């Protein structure tokens, strides 16, 4: 009887592992979330060619949103990732557009989009994708940033940001307009 129980447990564990992906200590069960985070993670390490919002990959992100080389690209990066994951929306290079009221959620969960408000701009002026949250810290994947976390950076980085620095979160996976 104990042998049958152990076999059943082993089968259940194998089946559960097929549909989950570990990210740190977080287990991602939703395959759409897992797929989107894999795509975003695959871009970590991309850098601008000359530090002027350019280079083959950066220009690919910008072209996805109808923008040109040299323009800011954090929101274009977010949009490109969602597009590669099969979502129709978001598709913008304007970071405030990533946060329509219908998409807003109270917490940063894996694959939600985060926005940082800049008082000098009077608007959201940087965005990225939440990979996970641990305590009061978000682990993110974001474009057009740098080691310091600037909104005018040089590449795609994994960052840690305190939740108090985040103004909005948007869930494009479960938003009606963002569905595949």
12: in domain: no
119: in domain: yes
**18 or 144: whose pLDDT is higher?**
144
Task: List the CATH number of the domain containing 150.
Answer: 3.90.1720.10
148: in domain: yes
pLDDT at 28: 56
- Please write the tens of the pLDDT for every residue from 1-16: 555 444 444 444 443 4
pLDDT band at 149 (very low <50, low <70, confident <90, very high): confident
CB 116 within 8 A of CB 151: yes
9: in domain: no
Residues 124-130, mean pLDDT to the nearest whole number? 98
4: in domain: no
Beta bridge partners of 141: 129, 158
Helices (H) and strands (E) in the chain, counts: 4, 8
Residues 22-33, mean pLDDT to the nearest whole number? 66
142: in domain: yes
153: in domain: yes
pTM for the model stands at: 0.83
11: in domain: no
Q: Which domain holds residue 97?
A: 20-178
Secondary structure (DSSP) of 41-99 = HHTTT-B-SSSSS-SHHHHHHHHHTT--TTS--HHHHHHHHHHHTT------S-GGGG-
Looking at the structure of the chain, the number of domains it has is 1
Neighbours of 104 (CB within 10 A): 14
């Amino acid at each position: 009887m104990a042998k049958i129980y152990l076999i059943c447990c082993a089968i259940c564990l194998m089946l559960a592992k097929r549909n989950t992906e570990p990210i740190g200590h977080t287990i991602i069960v939703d395959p759409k979330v897992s797929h989107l985070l894999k795509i975003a993670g695959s871009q970590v390490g991309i850098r601008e060619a000359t530090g002027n919002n350019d280079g083959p990959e950066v220009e690919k992100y910008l072209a996805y949103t109808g923008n040109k080389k040299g323009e800011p690209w954090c929101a274009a990066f977010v949009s490109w990732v969602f597009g590669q994951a099969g979502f129709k929306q978001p598709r913008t290079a304007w970071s405030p557009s990533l946060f329509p009221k219908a998409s807003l959620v109270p917490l940063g969960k894996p694959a939600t989009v985060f926005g940082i408000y800049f008082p000098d701009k009077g608007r959201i002026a940087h965005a990225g994708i939440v990979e996970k949250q641990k305590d009061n810290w978000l682990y993110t994947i974001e474009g057009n940033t740098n080691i310091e976390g600037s909104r005018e950076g040089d590449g795609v980085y994994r960052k840690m940001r305190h939740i108090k620095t985040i103004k909005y979160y948007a869930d494009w996976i479960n938003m009606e307009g963002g569905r595949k």
